[in-house]
Structure 1
């Protein structure tokens, strides 16, 4: 573990974050981190349970004098988004995250940092191992697979938790207290095709879109960040008919909850038109880079001659239908909320496009704080991709979390924040997916709230967490624990 990380305050959080970040913990690959957190609980002599889904609960009795307070649930998820830059050599399955300090920020070397939601996990660990923090009875809930389906929250059974108040530590702005979130649904379009052989007289080229910031497809969808899949499709749309471009392969984006940063297309262009194609494409590239210069100043779009000559290409009609469907498919903010200022109500992220070996796959994540609007947009996408002849399926449907502005725990947190900072916190609902809505199905009477330190660039290699914000967050949660109301 980096010594500069260990020197940060609060030391107990950063020590545990470093230990956690040494353990690979991709969504759906959490077995090692489950063992890690169970061993941690057992080493403290605390009751430690694992359910059939893989969620872990560690129980800690109330500290002296706090036995008559309402029991609480401290909750964070164990998994993290694994993303890296193309030029970063890193094995997520076997290596720990390489962290470093840059001013007020802790960052990772070319990969996601895992502050989402590792800082929450590390904070709970620090509270569990402390012998001096005043607190009521605690159920520490560590869920699995939050990032790719929230299957941990879905699988948690009623009766496993004893607390009356849930503190979710998965919000990414230390000025905000979250009382609601969007639901989501995965939309997947699949199309198979019989490839055409490559004709003589064509030149192989590789088009690459890279250098975009990317980010969280919920928390950062409103920023107008570039989507590599949409930018690549725009390039193909503007050139395929005029120059006879044929697509061999496309690989763009990654996880559904990450705004795609990179896309690569392998194409063929007639040798008689390749110079004109390159010249016109450079004009288009310059225009696109100029459009994104403010939000994505690192955007690069490259055209390179390819030594590898593709064997097959998409049939012309399939190619045209695909390009037009991607162009027509909604991406980004679809509708703003009528009930909350500056809140995205409904959005879509065209997260992943793969075209190769006779198969097209397009993967989206559609979010909304309004269930009917979520399905409305999902059906719009379904209709768009069905028009290109694709089979469209819905999966991973999870509900939003309806705000309760009269929450007792909200009132407590607001008072404490105002006392500590002489200003009011922002009480918000967010466009990201939080597990509170799902957990509330089996615990409908539990009073829930979400807050956390400031994390920027989550779900991208630009992810970073503010050191000063972690200190602010730690002071906040300690006073919250001390002031939990009586039963």
Structure 2
């Protein structure tokens, strides 16, 4: 199904705006084209449009007739999307628009991330701004940049740009949930160097590949027990550490995506090759059995290659393997206050070993600042013990739940009226921008909701069409029922 047919899905206004922005490459930190597009969008509607010093776009629309005395609402979503693709997919994110299709009631992308996170939120706001029929109070549309790799847009937004009393963040991914809190996060990066050992013809070379994992959002999916390619690769290298030397490792990618693939080039003395191959076969059987239900597409491959002439020195090899083995990955602690909520976690997102350099990239999340620091400190200790330099960066706060929020009552009441069921009022383990925006605008009443999206941050990302219709109807009803200004 072509993108033209995507535009015929209901609600058409939502899917047409989504198709428009999905035609524009918009990776985090490379948002120049989407910023220009959104700025022109606002100006072409004759609306006041501002691009702030960091690149956030703010578009103001006056209230519709009879709604002038209602509280001003900030509609907020982020412009950037995670760029991930399957290894076999031939696609250039820098030049191509996302190729979409419909399957069994879901919009999907062909071998890449879809960009529904947070493109559907952006498209919904665009639909409100462009509409002549949607009733609403004064609107301030806030389109932030770089949410996925540091939230620098939200962090860079200065006080004084917004006048709204209520903020609706459209970045939640289950349509039966209303979000009132989220985790904060910090990037933990370990770096080091190693010496090379020169090798001779007594070694054989092999390429090891782990692939087919689901991956996913390192916050929302961290408690699902999915495989982490970096941990699985390291688990095998630990088992055969006495049999092999390491030439290179390339595993994972973005910090906020659970790594789906890892590749290692290793060398093995010829007399140990059979023992090494047997260990590989046994490990493959063991791990596939362990993940049979949750990772049915998990694949291992072992291929003989021309043997490289050098490898990582033995001391660095053992320190690398030990440090990754000891490093926290996955859920660290569940919340004592909110049943079912992950309080703290870590994602070992990327492992790069090549040409004498080592990089290990992690994203630590927690809804409790003290626990976030605890996990980050444990990672620092583990990596520093192995001789790595460790940098903590990009720290951002969580969003503390407020069950007495006035806008929460508006949303829960409307949800029950519209859908004849009660929504789940939750906090999530993802990072939403509400925590940061709340530091700039502490008196703003904030809430988050959105359509159902599955597999965010992976090429399996998909958006439910029926849910998107419900989401659009819900948003329109909310805007009609914004309280009168005090």
Question: What is the Cα deviation at residue 198 of structure 1?
Answer: 2.1
What is the CA–CA distance in structure 1 between the aligned matches of 2:310 and 2:425, rounded to whole Å? 55
Equivalent residue number for residue 265 of structure 1: 264
Q: Structure 2 length as normaliser, TM-score?
A: 0.99
Give the CA deviation at 1:2: 1.7
1:442 Cα offset (Å): 1.0
Pick from 441, 444, 450 the counterpart of residue 439 of structure 2. Answer: 441
Q: Tell me, in whole angstroms, the C-alpha distance in 1 between the residues paired with 2:166 and 2:266.
A: 56
2:185–2:366 contact (8 Å) kept in structure 1:
yes
Q: TM-score with structure 1 length normalisation?
A: 0.99
Q: After superposition, give the CA deviation of every residue in 1:131-158 in whole Å (9 maximum; x if it has no partner).
A: 0100000000000000000000000010
Q: C-alpha separation between the residues in 2 aligned to 1:396 and 1:256?
A: 12
- Distance in 2 between residues matched to 1:260 and 1:103, nearest whole Å: 27
Shift of 1:279: 1.8
Deviation of residue 312 (structure 1)? 2.0
Q: Report how many residues are paired.
A: 484
* Cα distance in 2 for residues equivalent to 1:48 and 1:143: 14
The residue number in structure 2 matching 1:250 is 249
State the shift of 1:329 in Å.
0.5
Aligned to 1:374: 372
> In 2, distance between residues paired with 1:188 and 1:280?
31
Deviations 1:376-402 (A, max 9, x none): 000000000011100001000000001
SS of the counterpart of 1:410? helix
Separation in 2 of the partners of 1:102 and 1:374?
39
1:441: Cα distance to partner? Answer: 0.7
Partner of 1:72: 73
Q: CA deviation at 1:311?
A: 3.1
- Is residue 2:344 matched to residue 1:306? no
Give the alignment of 1:69-148 within 5 angstroms: 69-148=70-149
Over 6 Å off, 4+ runs: none
Shift of 1:199: 2.8
Structure 1 match to 2:449: 451
CA deviations 1:228-268 (Å, max 9, x no partner) are 00000001001111x2x000000000000000000000000
In the alignment, structure 1 segments of 5+ residues that lack a partner are: none
Residues in 2 aligned to 1:311 and 1:27: alpha-carbon distance in whole angstroms: 38
Find the residue that maps to 1:222 and give its secondary structure: coil
Aligned to 1:45: 46
Per the TM alignment, residue 3 of structure 1 is displaced from its structure 2 partner at its CA by: 2.3
1:367-446 → structure 2 map (5 Å cutoff): 367-446=365-444
Q: Aligned partners of 2:179, 2:288: CA distance in 1, in Å?
A: 35
What corresponds to 1:347 in structure 2? Answer: 345
For 2:235, the equivalent position in structure 1 comes to 234
Task: Pick one of 353, 356, 362 that aligns with 2:354.
Answer: 356
Q: CA deviation at 1:200?
A: 2.6
**TM superposition shift of 1:103:** 1.3
- Map of 2:159 onto structure 1: 158
> CA offsets, 1:270-302, max 9 Å, x none?
111112211221011111011011111000011
Where 1:139 maps in the other structure, the secondary structure is strand
CA contact (8 A) 2:367 2:398 kept: yes
What is the rounded CA distance, in whole Å, between the counterparts of 1:239 and 1:470 in structure 2? 49
Contact 2:200 2:309 in 1 (8 A): no
Q: Secondary structure at the match of 1:215?
A: coil
